A and B are shown apart, each in its own frame.
Chain A
């Protein structure tokens, strides 16, 4: 992605296009030191703290019933929200990328909205709808339906914050690919669904994976929005990030950082997978007849 082979190709003119050695060294040193202090060290600290009492304590912390319940809940919420956002993303991308209509840019910016809303506000809006003093709170209470401080609320808040990921990964990709291949399939007698599954989907598979990957990472790691709607019921409504907070506030640092290390590994795996997918997307089959 960031290859710039054109630099360092010629010799004498290069001197005009680069800075003195001293400046170069200074800029590189500033960049490296800054990234090390602000990004690398926090990541290293997570693992150092998690293993500070040895490997035994680390695995004991992870096999604690509360930890296991948090891991289960996190996985469940991630499956629900990624699944729903995947379907929505495919549907929205089809409508937006394959057709021309007025207000397209506006619709895309509406889909983008959750990116610019504070996580706390993303949770707050659901408290205002479903909370005891909320619009539908009294009705829900009289019918004994639990949304807030239960799985549905956590899932809703997570769906809200991860809403744009899949759609945003697919829209530009599908726009770039145009509609020629699909039109050919339709004119040869394929149905709409056949066209989608046999022609469109194979063309966008890397984009789908890319969107799902980022959506999943955010879904599993979301803290602010989920924190507002969860109610922090131990063993029931705590996701992994919430358990990190609770254990940390109870000075159970090894346990807290053990859970945190799982989330940090998720982040690292996500980054590696993202790099690989980006390579596929860059080389991806370019639309024919371009």
Chain B
């Protein structure tokens, strides 16, 4: 049903448009990215290794990847809860809350950053009551975690939502009529068919949080080795004119995000073969 595989087009302009596409793609994306890798090759393997295993770099990478993973886990669980509520239940304001999910996509990251900081600072609406409980959020690693949860939630919701909507209701009815109780139907029938979408949403949220800068740096506190994320360390190294250090960290992050995207593509392909398209 996908529009005419193998059909030869009689339309004009393929050479011209393809040529322009490849040129513009090379100028804006491919050459600049290639420059990054080229710059890395100016380093010897030893230098590269020394930069990456320095305490500050390792800690920054650990903070970015570790907290991004934790935040993506929260997004996975809460995203599923949100999708379930939005798709399966009727409640007042449902459409509004559905629209609200997209705000982290649309809100510029710097705005999200100052807003979250102001909200969770010790004098903020949420920061003040939390401080009384002895919980400090802003200017600690917890703040980074909170910002990453904010930025990642739409990824899980928007990948899982269409799949749950399209899920065949008859399977559920069959399970129920065969005597499965509701919990078994949900955990053994519905959730397994959501797994590819859940994994994709998790991976996208994780990838976004690892590279996130704007919404994190305000609330993070940015203390080296404690609350300094890897993207910020790149910026700091650049401002010190230590281009090699900045590049080495960037290459590691870039390769990691390529691997995640590759994994997502594999998951998608696996999902397509697993569940035959209707």
Contacts and interface: CB of A to CB of B under 8 A. Distances in A.
A17 B172 contact: yes
Interface string A51-76: 00000000000000000000000000
A5 B238 CA distance: 54
Interface stretch (B27-35, B50-58, B193-201, B270-278): B27-35
A49 B234 contact: no
Interface string A258-287: 001001101110110011000000000000
Interface residues of A, number: 105
Interface in B75-113: 78, 81-82, 84-91, 93, 97-104, 106-113
Contact of A98 (B11, B39, B91, B119): B11
B142 interface: no
A32 B186 CA distance: 21
Interface in B222-278: 231-232, 234-235, 238, 241, 243, 246-247, 250, 253-254, 257-258, 260-261, 265
Contact of A38 (B2, B118, B150): B150
Contact of B88 (A18, A95, A217, A260): A18
A4 B87 contact: yes
Contact of A192 (B12, B101, B210): B12
B254 A94 contact: no
A34 B114 contact: no
B78 A100 contact: no
Given A30-B81, A34-B82, A117-B211, A267 B103 contact: yes
B183 to A, nearest CB: 9
A94 B17 contact: yes
Nearest to A185: B11
Q: Is the interface of B mostly helix, strand, loop or mixed?
A: helix
The interface size bin for chain B is 35 or more
A126 interface: yes
B9 A179 contact: yes
A270 B107 CA distance: 10
A210 to B, nearest CB: 13
Contacts of B247: 124, 128
A19 B78 CA distance: 18
A280 to B, nearest CB: 17
Contacts, number: 303
B2 A175 contact: yes
A219 B78 CA distance: 30
Interface string A205-241: 0000000000001001111100110000000000001
Contacts of B91: 28, 32
Contact of A113 (B29, B102, B112, B212): B29
Contacts of B111: 46, 221, 241, 244, 260, 263-264, 267
15 contacts: A2-B161, A13-B176, A28-B91, A30-B85, A35-B97, A37-B126, A118-B254, A120-B232, A127-B243, A175-B2, A187-B10, A227-B213, A241-B108, A268-B106, A271-B102
Interface of A: 2, 4, 6-8, 13, 16-20, 24, 27-28, 30-32, 34-35, 37-43, 45-46, 49, 88, 91-92, 94-96, 98-101, 107, 109-114, 116-121, 124-129, 131-135, 156, 159-160, 163, 175-179, 182-183, 186-187, 192, 195-196, 217, 220-224, 227-228, 241-242, 244-245, 248, 253, 256-257, 260, 263-264, 266-268, 270-271, 274-275
